[in-house]
């Protein structure tokens, strides 16, 4: 076994590898960019080496810098994690030339499965069912836009455009009609070129509402290959997985055996070694089709570990060290059900745009044999615009799926995050939706359950507002002057024998107020027509223990620049406290739709300066975190000037262009 390994990655997966290495007594070397100098994986490793500035191409994707770090630290092997260089055949070959073991498959296997077109050809020869499509054979000669549009017509709409070198949901576009094809193709090629350095694509028939089921495979250098059951990854947004579970619900034993056999044959066809995943799509009739093979450890591997009791990272290390697989196919067993939810710094209500900033408050549920959290951040860390905005993976296990769903829902209700917009509430509603609870899983689940997941009206309870009031009057939400609040005094002093105060708050769609009176060691708080008798005690980390009308209730309230985040367990609410001493309350001014919603790079301008456009027309495209965001015209009008050129970096909130709306009369005449 190795004595020292270098982890050529960051964040959650680097921390995950470190955990196994610690248990096995293996020394770990972290690498970091300037943006990650104080990151959790750097703090956990035995040593760490700087490899460059924040952009991934100058650090985590820089092969020479990674190998220099390995040489400097005398590492015997390199674990690539997932993403970055994990599926890069050139990196695997460079490791071999440098005399360092690459903890992954052989370069030939990476190349064979790294090209979706080549992988489809291999599977076709192996007799594995494929979805109809254009594989891009001779793709160098046949990547013309007109030719590809013609092929899409032959396949029949809807079709899926896929980056040939893609993965992780990047470089994929669904096209429902021929008039949408060229714009989708151009966008897909831009994203593929930026993310993978290869803009070639293939086309596949789009299966409506399929299930996405994948099989974990493992091979060793002794010719052994096993499949370690399957995972259902159907619940997705923007072709990226949100919830994963194992085993896949409603899969009968005959299907499980057929899937496992097909996955093992796929691995054998390329001489596979190490951890890999063979992915399939199920149609509504239960037929499955090969989609792709990922030649690395997957983000969702913990659910397989939870139902089998295995440590797949340990298996990777042992196989890379030349040992045979620890178990044979017939020795593999599973028990119970596991579900993983990916917690991201993103805004589900704003097309899942990434969010950046400091994790001002981060509290997770307690880990146990039933609950596991894989994370690369801690409270006080910062989510930057340079990398994937994952905060954590929350994994639960129980004897049955129903119990696991209930356990996941409870764990999500305990998760508290302040400082970045996040998807915890979205996930909680998602796992509570009828389709998810009934295991009616497919890739359209989120769209199908949108009214459940995004209800039109979600008013916060009086109880939540009561806790916001308590946070203010107990002196924890002091005015901007920094002076402690006189309302926090408990010495019995009264001005003219009375204590009465009106507090005002806002939320995005309404204004709220409460009147507070104090007497006999308790507050009388009036909200609307209701009056509550309340006493409270402040605890550490924002916890408030209260008695409301003789009912004992606790909540956590975090003050982030007068935004009060109230976590009650069954509800999370945000109230903006209107400080009467401030000139204006935070949050009152509406953000222009022509400002950058996130930090990023300008990748395209869709119109010319001076051009008149209709409402909703695309004006400019930004790219950040390997994701594109289109800026649309807020009304009919004219683009007078762009403030940034293609290739420029822009900060969040930057005014992107000067837009003049049409006069109301002109718009009425057109209507």
**Residues known to be catalytic:** 296
Tokens for 437, please give them: 């609870």
Nearest CA to 634 out of 652, 601, 664, 659 is that of 659
Q: 521 in the Ramachandran plot: left (φ > 0), alpha (ψ -120 to 50) or beta? A: left
The one-character DSSP state at 157 is: S
Strand order in the sheet with 600-605: 627-632, 618-624, 600-605, 649-650
Q: Which residues make beta-bridge pairs with 7?
A: 30, 79
Q: Find the helix or strand (DSSP H, E) in which 437 lies.
A: helix 434-437
Burial class (CB in 10 A: 0-12, 13-18, 19+), 314: middle
Q: Are 435 and 441 in contact (CB under 8 A)?
A: yes
Q: Cα–Cα distance between 100 and 79 in angstroms, integer?
A: 10
Q: Cα–Cα distance between 151 and 131 in angstroms, integer?
A: 14
Q: Are 42 and 34 in contact (CB under 8 A)?
A: no
Helix and strand numbers, DSSP H then E, in the chain = 18, 38
Among the residues of 156-252, which ranges form H helices?
181-196
CA dihedral 472, 478, 480, 481 (to 10 degrees): 140
CA 67, chain centre distance (Å): 29
Q: Cα–Cα distance between 406 and 404 in angstroms, integer?
A: 5
Burial class (CB in 10 A: 0-12, 13-18, 19+), 654: middle
Q: Which residues make beta-bridge pairs with 540?
A: none
Strand order in the sheet with 211-219: 288-294, 274-282, 211-219, 225-237, 240-246, 337-344, 390-398, 371-375
For the chain, give the number of residues: 671
Q: Which residue has the tokens 């027309």?
A: 617
Other C-beta atoms closer than 10 Å to the C-beta of 366 total 8
Burial class (CB in 10 A: 0-12, 13-18, 19+), 558: buried
Q: Cα–Cα distance between 661 and 340 in angstroms, integer?
A: 46
Contacts of 365 (CB under 8 A, 6+ apart): 371, 373, 394, 410, 411, 414, 415
Q: Cα–Cα distance between 277 and 294 in angstroms, integer?
A: 5
Give the 3-state secondary structure of residue 22: helix
Burial class (CB in 10 A: 0-12, 13-18, 19+), 602: buried
């Amino acid at each position: 076994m190795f004595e020292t390994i270098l982890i050529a990655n960051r964040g959650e997966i680097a921390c995950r590898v470190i955990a196994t290495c610690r248990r096995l007594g293996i020394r770990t070397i972290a690498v970091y960019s300037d943006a990650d100098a104080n990151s959790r994986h750097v703090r956990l490793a035995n040593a760490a080496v700087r490899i460059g500035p924040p952009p991934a191409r100058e650090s985590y994707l820089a092969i020479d810098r990674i190998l220099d770090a390995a040489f400097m630290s005398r590492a015997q092997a390199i674990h690539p994690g997932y993403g970055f260089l994990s599926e890069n055949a050139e990196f695997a070959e460079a490791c071999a030339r440098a005399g360092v073991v690459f903890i992954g498959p052989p370069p030939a296997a990476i190349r064979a499965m790294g090209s979706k077109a080549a992988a489809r050809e291999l599977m076709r020869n192996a007799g594995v069912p494929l979805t109809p499509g254009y594989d891009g054979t001779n793709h160098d000669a046949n990547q013309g836009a007109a030719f590809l549009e013609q092929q899409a017509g032959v396949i029949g709409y809807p079709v899926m455009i896929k980056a040939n070198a893609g993965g992780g949901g990047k470089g994929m576009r669904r096209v429902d009609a021929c008039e949408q094809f060229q714009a989708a193709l151009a966008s897909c090629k831009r994203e593929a070129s930026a993310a993978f350095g290869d803009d070639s694509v293939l086309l596949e028939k789009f299966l409506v509402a399929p299930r996405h089921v994948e099989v974990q495979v493992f091979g060793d250098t002794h010719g052994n290959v096993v499949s370690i059951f399957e995972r259902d990854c159907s619940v997705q947004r923007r072709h990226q997985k949100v919830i994963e579970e194992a085993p896949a619900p409603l899969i009968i034993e005959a299907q499980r055996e057929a899937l496992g056999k097909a996955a093992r044959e796929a691995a054998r066809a390329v001489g596979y070694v190490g951890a890999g995943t063979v992915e399939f799509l199920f149609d509504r009739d239960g037929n499955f089709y090969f989609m792709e093979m990922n030649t690395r450890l997957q983000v969702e591997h913990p659910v397989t570990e939870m139902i089998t009791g295995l440590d797949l990272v340990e298996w990777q290390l042992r196989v890379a060290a030349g040992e045979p697989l620890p178990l044979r196919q017939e020795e593999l067993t599973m028990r119970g059900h596991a579900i993983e939810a990916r917690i991201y710094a993103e805004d589900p209500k704003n097309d899942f745009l990434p969010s950046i900033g400091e994790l001002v408050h981060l509290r997770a549920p307690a880990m146990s044999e039933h609950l596991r959290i894989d994370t690369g951040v801690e409270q006080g860390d910062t989510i930057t615009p340079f990398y994937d905005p994952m905060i954590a993976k929350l994994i639960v296990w129980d004897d049955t799926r129903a119990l696991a769903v209930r356990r996941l829902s409870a764990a999500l209700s305990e998760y508290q995050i302040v400082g970045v917009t996040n998807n915890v509430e979205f996930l909680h509603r998602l796992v509570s939706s009828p389709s998810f609870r009934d295991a009616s899983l497919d890739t359209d689940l989120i769209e199908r359950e949108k009214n459940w997941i995004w209800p039109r009206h979600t008013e916060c309870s009086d109880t939540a507002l009561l806790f916001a009031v308590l946070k203010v009057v107990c002196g924890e939400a002091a005015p901007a002057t920094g002076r402690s609040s006189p309302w926090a005094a408990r010495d019995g002093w009264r001005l003219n024998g009375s204590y009465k105060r009106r507090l005002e708050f806002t939320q995005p769609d309404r204004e709220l107020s409460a009147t507070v009176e104090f007497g006999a060691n308790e507050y009388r708080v009036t909200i609307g027509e209701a009056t509550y008798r309340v006493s409270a005690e402040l605890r550490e980390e924002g916890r408030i223990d209260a008695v409301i009308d003789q009912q004992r209730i606790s909540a956590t309230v975090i003050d982030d620049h007068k935004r009060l985040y109230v976590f009650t367990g069954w509800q999370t609410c945000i109230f903006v406290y209107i400080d009467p001493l401030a000139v204006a309350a935070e949050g009152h001014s509406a953000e222009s739709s022509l400002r950058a919603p996130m930090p990023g790079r300008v990748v395209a301008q869709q119109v010319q300066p001076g051009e008149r456009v209709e409402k909703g027309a695309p004006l400019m495209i930004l790219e950040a975190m390997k994701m594109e965001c289109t800026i649309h015209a807020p009304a009919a009008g004219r683009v007078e000037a762009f403030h940034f050129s293609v290739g420029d970096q822009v900060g969040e909130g930057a005014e992107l262009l000067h837009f003049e709306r049409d006069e109301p009369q002109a718009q009425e005449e057109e209507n």
